[in-house]
Amino acid sequence: MDKFVIRGGNPLVGTIRVSGAKNSALPCMAAAILTEEEVTLENIPQVRDIETERKLLASMGAVVGQREGSARDRMTISCRSLSDPVARYEIVKTMRASSLVLGPLIARAGVARVAMPGGCAIGGRPIDLHIKGLEKMGANITQQHGYLEARAERLQGAHLVFDKITVTGTEDLLMAAVLAEGETLMENCAREPEVTDLAALLTAMGARIEGAGTAVIRVKGVSSLHGATYRINPDRIEAGTFLIAGAITRGDLTVANCDPSHLGAVLNKLKEAGARVESVGSDAVRVQAPERLRAADISTEEYPGFPTDMQAQYMALATQAEGTSQVRENIFENRFMHVQELVRMGANIKVDGSTATVRGPSPLSAAAVMCSDLRASASLVLAALVADGESILDRVYHMDRGYERIEEKLQSVGAQIQRMGDIFPPVNMRRATDNSPVAPTA
Ligand code: UD1
């Protein structure tokens, strides 16, 4: 199992580039199921969740092409034949977003067999709202042996009102609705940019959708869709993580290839914390750290509120800010797995229900810590970048699910971070004052 060895203390300076959004790419790949023609996606990030979905589509009979080298961010998917419309447990268990194939499979093939996703580190995360919506559209869904079996001759347009805002739920039902007979009116939809991204691809494939990016989406079903080429938007969570990396390390970092209009809540908080933040052209943001960071409260909300996927990273920043920051998690239960590891590094954090109170600034000291989920890992990387000494982060496979070559990107702006295999202890790190990337001696 790979580990990261990080020596803290270097300010990050320079320009760092953001990859395509994993959470847009995943539904867009699933959308390819809706047509017999080829769908080409550009700006696909090279992360493990994408590889998992590639395997999932291939296991169902899709032909997925991806070149090697610099063109690897371009993927072609052909679902001419879907010989086996089954999402097997072995694949679904490693990535909950696999449930995104449910809607498109029923819409296209009239039948789907999808393993129920298990619990996961950040709460129960049910998919009852996906099921309820599909049933309302006429699907007959049963549960057997850990699998959902869904059938429908042709889905019917319906009036769907989500009891709770769900991102992948909105995406799943949107994909079902585009091939349904008649009109579907969806209310209380997620407004995340990833939903808008998916809707733009579906529209390019011939779907008729109005209102994506708002709470009400109206879809006029069509009988078939065609192929399309679509470029995935930049990853706003990766961009936000780098902005915090710049601020927490007292750096001066330009985050390039991002969409600043998707980062409003995060940029506002960074400003409240005292950082200087400015747009550079239309697709980059520069963050300059202040002399002293100030405490600021956050409360996670659906888009355009502060993203739950940035909560853990923000908490790392709050440990370095002067004063008391309240961090409220409103989207997921049990999403404070990073807290105990941050505390082990010297942070002063108390959790009471869904609120964490962070008192800072606390000098962090390097430690061996364990990554527990994707964003918790990012939080620990940020903490290690300012900790005194050499931290070892275990289970970085969580990080690899959603961040593309993060160690290389961070090295390029001055971080001392190295990926190590199982052999241990293999590194002779340079001093924190040495700005060049670390190199293992063994
Ligand atoms: C997506 C993102 C994830 C992000 C989350 C919230 C992807 C692949 N993942 O996850 O990174 O953290 O949005 O922004 O895009 N819920 C139900 N029933 C359902 C569905 C959801 O009760 O059928 C609840 C969940 O338990 C949670 C809340 O709704 O409390 C929001 O979850 P949801 O938006 O569905 O998260 P995901 O789409 O799984």
Q: How would residue 94 be classed by pLDDT, with cut points 50, 70 and 90?
A: confident
Q: Is the CB of 23 under 6 A from ligand 1?
A: yes
208 lines ligand 1 (CB under 6 A): no
Mutate to test the pocket of ligand 1, among 24, 29, 49, 125 (most ligand atoms within 8 A of CB): 125
The CA distance from 431 to 425, in Å, is 17
What is the Å distance from ligand 1's center to 168 Cα?
Answer: 6
For residue 404, give the H/E element and its range.
none
Q: Quick one: how far is CA 68 from the chain centroid?
A: 24
Q: What are the residue numbers of the active site?
A: 120
pLDDT tens digit sequence for 239-290: 999 999 999 999 999 999 999 999 999 999 999 999 999 999 999 999 999 9
Ligand 1 neighbour 170 (Cβ under 6 A):
no
**Tens digits of per-residue pLDDT, 166-209?**
999 999 999 999 999 999 999 999 999 999 999 999 999 999 99
Using one digit for the tens of pLDDT, what is the confidence trace for 314-345? Answer: 999 999 999 999 999 999 998 999 999 999 99
Between CA 46 and CA 188 the distance in angstroms is 32
E strands present in 211-262 = 217-220, 228-231, 252-256
- Residue 44 backbone class (left: φ over 0; alpha: ψ -120 to 50; beta: rest): beta
Contact 432, 416 (CB under 8 A): yes
Report the distance separating Cα 219 and Cα 211, nearest Å. Answer: 9
Residue having the nearest C-alpha atom to atom 4 of ligand 1: 309
Give 207 or 436, the one with higher predicted confidence.
207
The overall pTM is greater than 0.85: yes
